[in-house]
Chains A and B, each alone.
Chain A
């Protein structure tokens, strides 16, 4: 013990000496510079290295949410014969969306349209193939980081949103139809709605509060999931055959990666490394844990057992619901949103689905759609001006009007997404067909669509 302390104090001493040696010349240089005649001022770069470092990290974290996070979360829940098809759908979506985002997606979502009236609905087309994005470019939406980082950060959001839909259509959709659906949905649904809220469009101008994507990402993906599973129809044998998950351990790993990655999603949505990012991170952690407990307790009381699948589903529901609120609410608000999300999404996924009879296989609507809408409305309710000067909520700041704006945000997303998703699917159905044959479905997608199996 004594030797250990001696060694440690030796190391600390050595570090202190090094630090002093490092600081001293720096001080000397500064003094020298002050004495010298003023040199012509170099152009000041707006780039903040701290912000940039955090946004580089956030971008990696959000990509991790999709691959491997979401892929494993979904992959573990399907049957063995469809595990690779499910993982592959999420992976394939990641790739096609990346390329399309580079070609035109970023341009129409996050740049300004020259026509002011058109800019309410859609961004400009100048960033076709990211042409104007030079090394030193900075977006007006993120003034302290390189635009290359902002574009990639937003790309990871554009990736996860369509990829989330994959959970509703597992076990029965053609891979070709799925890839085309991902492409069309990104450009026709995600990009416009992202522009409406974040890119300078009508919802953002109206004052809709959506910190990290409660409506843009989750309600949007959830609505598309609901429409897709209804258009596709039920899985063959659902309710009669055993469809128990292949390996829930995969799902637990996936959900845990989603949770960790979500710090990039929510705290990263501050687009700076500042106090708002810090509070968003705290809110995210609190709401997620509360929602996992909320779902767990609901299930324990009603279904008699606290399932692990229930706990991780609750955690994801909490992450979804806190997403729009994360930068606007205080820790108590986060706790309330979390508990509400756990309980409400449990009922939506387990009971509402049974009542209405749609086959939303992995509960994209129940968790993301319902959780996203709930979170958006509760953001209006619990947003606090003391946490974010851009927001004035109903209960804390006495601004009930915010609830109306939030409702427009929810309704606008739901209606637009629902209609356009339906049209895309119907057109694809006519051109190439959406669903695999029953024989393929029964034998499994892995062997038939990809020529591979999990042993």
Chain B
């Protein structure tokens, strides 16, 4: 099992969700996060007072799925979240040791 963690632009969330749903994925966890990469921040100006905003709002999607589905999922996220502009985000894939469905006690892939 793998955890696919994608940091994307907030307005791309719906497209990414749709793309993953089409692959047959049953769920995901979404968090509003702030951070920066190459895009750095931006400047806000209020009555002449300038503030550098270092952390930009992003969306973090977390999905756990069987290892054999990872490549397809990653491709789907890239295709849906890409604008070609700086700040599109990143995807991380990490191994997952165990999964438990709390309601039934099922474990691992049958719990996904």
Q: Is the CB of A303 within 8 A of B48?
A: yes
The answer to the question of B53 belonging to the interface, with a C-beta cut-off of 8 Å to chain A, is yes
Q: Is the CB of B47 within 8 A of A310?
A: yes
Stretch at the interface among A200-208, A212-220, A237-245: A237-245
Instruction: Write the chain B residue with the least CB distance to A304.
Output: B45
What 0/1 pattern do residues 41 to 56 of B give for CB contact below 8 A with A? 0001111110111000
Q: Is the CB of B48 within 8 A of A243?
A: no
**Which chain B residues border A351 with CB–CB below 8 Å?**
48
What 0/1 pattern do residues 77 to 107 of A give for CB contact below 8 A with B? 1000000000000000000000000000000
Q: Is the CB of A242 within 8 A of B48?
A: no
Q: Is the CB of A244 within 8 A of B47?
A: no
Interface centre among B44, B46, B53 (most CB of A within 10 A): B46
Cβ contact of B46, chosen from A239, A244, A353, cutoff 8 A: A244
Q: How far is the CA of A363 from the CA of B46 in the complex (A)?
A: 11
Q: Is the CB of A363 within 8 A of B47?
A: yes
Q: Is the CB of A242 within 8 A of B47?
A: no
**Nearest CB on B from A180, distance (A):** 30
Q: Is the CB of B53 within 8 A of A349?
A: no
**Which chain A residues border B47 with CB–CB below 8 Å?**
309-310, 313, 349-350, 363
The answer to the question of A305 belonging to the interface, with a C-beta cut-off of 8 Å to chain B, is yes
Interface centre among A244, A309, A313, A351 (most CB of B within 10 A): A244
The answer to the question of A307 belonging to the interface, with a C-beta cut-off of 8 Å to chain B, is yes
Interface centre among B44, B47, B49, B51 (most CB of A within 10 A): B47
Q: Is the CB of A244 within 8 A of B44?
A: yes
**Nearest CB on A from B83, distance (A):** 22
Cβ contact of A245, chosen from B46, B52, B53, cutoff 8 A: B46
Q: Is the CB of B53 within 8 A of A307?
A: no
**Nearest CB on A from B51, distance (A):** 5
Instruction: Write the chain B residue with the least CB distance to A302.
Output: B48
Q: How far is the CA of A219 from the CA of B46 in the complex (A)?
A: 23
Cβ contact of A353, chosen from B48, B51, B53, cutoff 8 A: B48
Instruction: Write the chain B residue with the least CB distance to A354.
Output: B48
Total chain A interface residues with beta-carbon distance under 8 A: 18
Q: How far is the CA of A310 from the CA of B44 in the complex (A)?
A: 13
What 0/1 pattern do residues 341 to 361 of A give for CB contact below 8 A with B? 000000001110110000000
Q: Is the CB of B46 within 8 A of A242?
A: no
Total chain B interface residues with beta-carbon distance under 8 A: 9
Cβ contact of B51, chosen from A242, A305, A349, cutoff 8 A: A242
What 0/1 pattern do residues 258 to 286 of A give for CB contact below 8 A with B? 00000000000000000000000000000
**Which chain A residues border B49 with CB–CB below 8 Å?**
239, 243
**Nearest CB on A from B20, distance (A):** 32
**Which chain B residues border A243 with CB–CB below 8 Å?**
46, 49, 51
Residues 23-71 of B at the A interface (beta carbon under 8 Å)? 44-49, 51-53
Q: How far is the CA of A363 from the CA of B49 in the complex (A)?
A: 12
**Nearest CB on B from A202, distance (A):** 37
**Which chain B residues border A239 with CB–CB below 8 Å?**
49
Q: How far is the CA of A350 from the CA of B47 in the complex (A)?
A: 5
Q: How far is the CA of A350 from the CA of B49 in the complex (A)?
A: 8
Q: How far is the CA of A354 from the CA of B48 in the complex (A)?
A: 9
What 0/1 pattern do residues 314 to 353 of A give for CB contact below 8 A with B? 0000000000000000000000000000000000011101
Q: How far is the CA of A245 from the CA of B53 in the complex (A)?
A: 13
Seen from chain A, the residues whose Cβ lies within 8 Å of a Cβ on chain B are 77, 239, 242-245, 303, 305, 307, 309-310, 313, 349-351, 353-354, 363
A-B contact pairs, 29 of them (CB 8 A): A77-B46, A239-B49, A242-B51, A242-B52, A242-B53, A243-B46, A243-B49, A243-B51, A244-B44, A244-B46, A244-B51, A244-B53, A245-B46, A303-B45, A303-B48, A305-B45, A307-B45, A307-B46, A309-B46, A309-B47, A310-B47, A313-B47, A349-B48, A350-B47, A350-B48, A351-B48, A353-B48, A354-B48, A363-B47
**4 cross-chain pairs, A with B, having the tightest CB-CB distances, nearest first:** A350-B48, A242-B51, A244-B51, A350-B47
Q: Taking A305-B45, A309-B46, A363-B47 as given, write out 17 further A-B residue pairs in contact, using a Cβ cutoff of 8 Å, ordered by the A residue number.
A: A77-B46, A239-B49, A242-B51, A242-B52, A242-B53, A243-B46, A243-B49, A243-B51, A244-B44, A244-B46, A244-B51, A244-B53, A303-B45, A307-B45, A310-B47, A349-B47, A350-B48
